[in-house]
Structure 1
Amino acid sequence: MNKKIVYIIAFVTMIIISGCSTNTTNKQYVITIDEEKVLLDEVLLYLNEIEQEFEAIGGQDIWETNFDGMTAEEVAKQRAIENVVRIKIVNDKARELGISLSEEEMKDIDRFVLEYLKEYYEEGSGDESLVKEVFKENLLVNRVYNDLTKDFEPDEKRIAQYLLEDENYKYFSSFSLEQYRVKHILLKTHEISGNNNLEPLALEIQEEAYEKALEVLEKVRLGEKFESLVLSYSQDTESIQNKGEYTFLKGEMMEAFEEAVFNLKPGEISDIVATPYGYHIIKLEEIIKPSQEAVEFFEEQIKELEEILTKNNIQMQKNEAFNKQYEEWKKEYNILINEDIWSNITVGK
């Protein structure tokens, strides 16, 4: 099945399932674009779609929300008008450009419209021509978009900048698979509270912690066994049962802790390192290199992420180019809204 048609089917399905009537009971014209007049019935199809999207995000409460000085209802109605105007103008330009749907696509539309009306409406109650027109016009917009952007050349500098600004890409690009096995001694200046916040200990206790750290460091330098000093002095209850040991990847520990470790060679011991928890003395035991399989897998994941982000940015650039063309087209048309009718339409009530 044509992917474009699948997309349009999803759109119309949502309209039908949501309960918006497609009976042509609203013969009033709400938009005039040059000589073309758009029935209220058709505009309500698009408004109902937007209403469903809003409520999917924020529930019924969303209608009590303001967006930059506009109510949610005003935003939804404005977007519905903009969507309809865009579709009508692009369809008009499709005729000028000689772009049309194929016979196969038109047959698909006829078949799907009949199937949906049969499934969701009693016989004779659905407006077949209106639903068919929605299918056709939306599909034709996609056709115009694809035709105008098929030879689009993206800005490679923008792609590179997009990659640099993506937080996930930045994180994984600088990520190291090396693991660091360390042992440390902690003299606490802060305690973890019941709500997982760090609460400072009394000032005299903090001062004593630093003096004790100096004392322990001196013992280390005099050659006392590090593991014994861990058991005698460390206040890190999480690691003390494992002789003060942690194995971690870059980014898993506090910045000051990691910076001290990265400046050590295996077997070396740090000076006193201050973190929000207190004062540490750290011994780097081992740098564990990743397996070749892990490296290859990780590089593959980075490549996939880069491809996804690149495609996203190219699509963004295409959209911008097409939107720029549309805005130029729009200037050629005289667009009028029948406010006497449109102002009485409510959303979310």
Structure 2
Amino acid sequence: MKKRVKLISLLLIILTIFSITLTGCSNKQSNQLVVKINNKEIYLDEAMYYVLMYEANFSMMVGPDKWDEEMVDGDSLSSLVKTSIMDAMVENEILYEKGLEAGVEITADLESQFKASSIEFFGLLEDELLDITGIDETVLYNINKKTYVANLHKNNIVMGLDIDIDALVAEVKEDDYKQYSAEHLAISFASYDEEGNLVELTDAEKATAKDTMDKALKDVKDGKTFKEISEKYEDITLSPSSFVYDETTDDVYQKEAIKLEKDEISEEVIETETGYFIIKMVDPDSKEAYNTAVNEAVAAKQQELYAVKYEEVKKDYTITINEDVWDPISVGHTTINLETQEADPKETESKKEEDSAE
């Protein structure tokens, strides 16, 4: 019987959204060497964990059908992610070794946590995934342990970098990131039906929508809150909005919103290309975009300097990839998006009968 999937984290949730078919690697992954890093060896069962995670993550971000599309310099997403997986495995192994040399310790408490989380994660994986990947509790435990030490050592390296934070902050101009945060009541001119088709309002429906919004505006002026109004009128939605204003924009919503002071509400119903709006300015001087830009600038500089440090360390390692094992792995088609094999009609009919019985 298949193991039941529980909701633990986003990564675990997304494992369940893909259709899994029992094909792919054999169940002897633990004997198949993928890469040797000096005298350290990574086998296919460990590599398949990375494939599993990357396939799940990228499919969630870009969709499950983008793997074979050309991305950069003629390389497909599948090829680029496969390179990233190998780089990540090698980096993790090197940082793990260097972390141990630097004195990073794993306490008995952490050992217990790693074992418990490995057993729990293993219990969440479907039988088909276990057959495809060869992953077991020991593989998961070792990955947990290596990743903990590697991440801690990397963090220690980053914390020791000589970075002029003040200079980086000075390069980010606050005026370039002036952000407005608002909320609005709205009736959209288009919506999706149950079959996913975009349906636009007729002129008569738009007129009705305008009447509804006029009534809502009167309610606002009579003291009702946006939440109360959204609950009163079925067609009206309440949503937040946030934007960095660009003076060259033709966006009617933004042009009207920036006229408002903090907590001020638009005097009229605003018509844009997409619908009718009543806008309330929540914060005309939000620092969110600016703070994000500062953090990104610091993180980029940290990554730049860390990469230099890592490459210096990496020079001491000889990395040998076993192409016979690694080449056949098709990222994006290993634990998801598996090519459908032409089934025997008798087997197909038998499967249908089994499904009906369930």
TM bracket (short chain) = 0.5 to 0.7
Match of 2:48 among 44, 48, 54: 44
Counterpart AA for 2:324: D
What is the CA distance between 1:44 and its match in structure 2? 1.9
Would you say the 8 A contact 2:38–2:317 is kept in 1? yes
Would you say the 8 A contact 2:78–2:331 is kept in 1? yes
Q: How far apart, CA to CA, are the structure 1 residues paired with 2:109 and 2:103?
A: 17
What is the CA distance between 1:142 and its match in structure 2? 1.6
Q: How far apart, CA to CA, are the structure 2 residues paired with 1:250 and 1:66?
A: 30
1:55 alignment partner, SS class: helix
Which of structures 1 and 2 has the larger relative contact order (alpha carbons within 8 angstroms, sep 6+)?
2
Match of 1:95 among 90, 94, 100: 100
Alignment of 1:147 with 2:156, yes or no, is yes
Would you say the 8 A contact 1:113–1:128 is kept in 2? yes
Within a 5 Å distance, the mapping from 1:49-60 to structure 2 comes to 49-56=53-60, 57-60=62-65
Deviations 1:248-272 (A, max 9, x none): x994888xxxxxxxxxxxxxxxxxx
In 2 relative to 1, CA 148–66 (structure 1 residues): closer, same or farther, beyond 3 Å? closer
2:42 alignment partner, SS class: strand
Partner of 1:310: 294
Match of 2:309 among 325, 338, 342: 325
Alignment of 1:106 with 2:90, yes or no, is no
Alignment of 1:346 with 2:350, yes or no, is no
Q: How far apart, CA to CA, are the structure 2 residues paired with 1:59 and 1:72?
A: 11
What is the CA distance between 1:136 and its match in structure 2? 1.4
Counterpart AA for 1:95: L
Q: How far apart, CA to CA, are the structure 2 residues paired with 1:253 and 1:77?
A: 40
1:60 alignment partner, SS class: coil
Within a 5 Å distance, the mapping from 1:217-228 to structure 2 comes to none
What is the CA distance between 1:81 and its match in structure 2? 0.9
- Structure 2, unmatched stretches of 5+, are 1-7, 181-244, 251-258, 265-279, 334-358
Q: How far apart, CA to CA, are the structure 2 residues paired with 1:310 and 1:329?
A: 29
Counterpart AA for 1:146: N
In 2 relative to 1, CA 295–129 (structure 1 residues): closer, same or farther, beyond 3 Å? closer
Within a 5 Å distance, the mapping from 1:273-284 to structure 2 comes to none
What is the CA distance between 1:15 and its match in structure 2? 8.9
Alignment of 1:137 with 2:175, yes or no, is no
Counterpart AA for 2:42: V
1:313 alignment partner, SS class: helix
Size of the aligned set, in residue pairs, is 227
Partner of 1:128: 137
Partner of 2:176: 170
What is the CA distance between 1:87 and its match in structure 2? 0.5
In 2 relative to 1, CA 64–251 (structure 1 residues): closer, same or farther, beyond 3 Å? closer
Would you say the 8 A contact 1:32–1:336 is kept in 2? yes
Match of 2:69 among 32, 46, 64: 64
In 2 relative to 1, CA 93–23 (structure 1 residues): closer, same or farther, beyond 3 Å? farther
What is the CA distance between 1:84 and its match in structure 2? 0.5
In 2 relative to 1, CA 332–14 (structure 1 residues): closer, same or farther, beyond 3 Å? farther
In 2 relative to 1, CA 325–291 (structure 1 residues): closer, same or farther, beyond 3 Å? closer
Would you say the 8 A contact 2:114–2:141 is kept in 1? yes
Counterpart AA for 1:150: M
Would you say the 8 A contact 2:178–2:289 is kept in 1? no
Q: How big is the alpha-carbon RMSD for the aligned residues of Structure 1 and Structure 2?
A: 3.8
Q: How far apart, CA to CA, are the structure 1 residues paired with 2:97 and 2:39?
A: 11
- Structure 1, unmatched stretches of 5+, are 1-8, 176-248, 255-287
Would you say the 8 A contact 1:15–1:45 is kept in 2? no
In 2 relative to 1, CA 320–16 (structure 1 residues): closer, same or farther, beyond 3 Å? same
Q: How far apart, CA to CA, are the structure 1 residues paired with 2:176 and 2:312?
A: 37
In 2 relative to 1, CA 251–137 (structure 1 residues): closer, same or farther, beyond 3 Å? same
Q: How far apart, CA to CA, are the structure 2 residues paired with 1:253 and 1:46?
A: 43
Deviations 1:220-266 (A, max 9, x none): xxxxxxxxxxxxxxxxxxxxxxxxxxxxx994888xxxxxxxxxxxx
Q: How far apart, CA to CA, are the structure 1 residues paired with 2:75 and 2:11?
A: 28
Counterpart AA for 1:73: S
Deviations 1:134-170 (A, max 9, x none): 1111222221122222344532223322x23x8xx51
Q: How far apart, CA to CA, are the structure 2 residues paired with 1:15 and 1:318?
A: 30
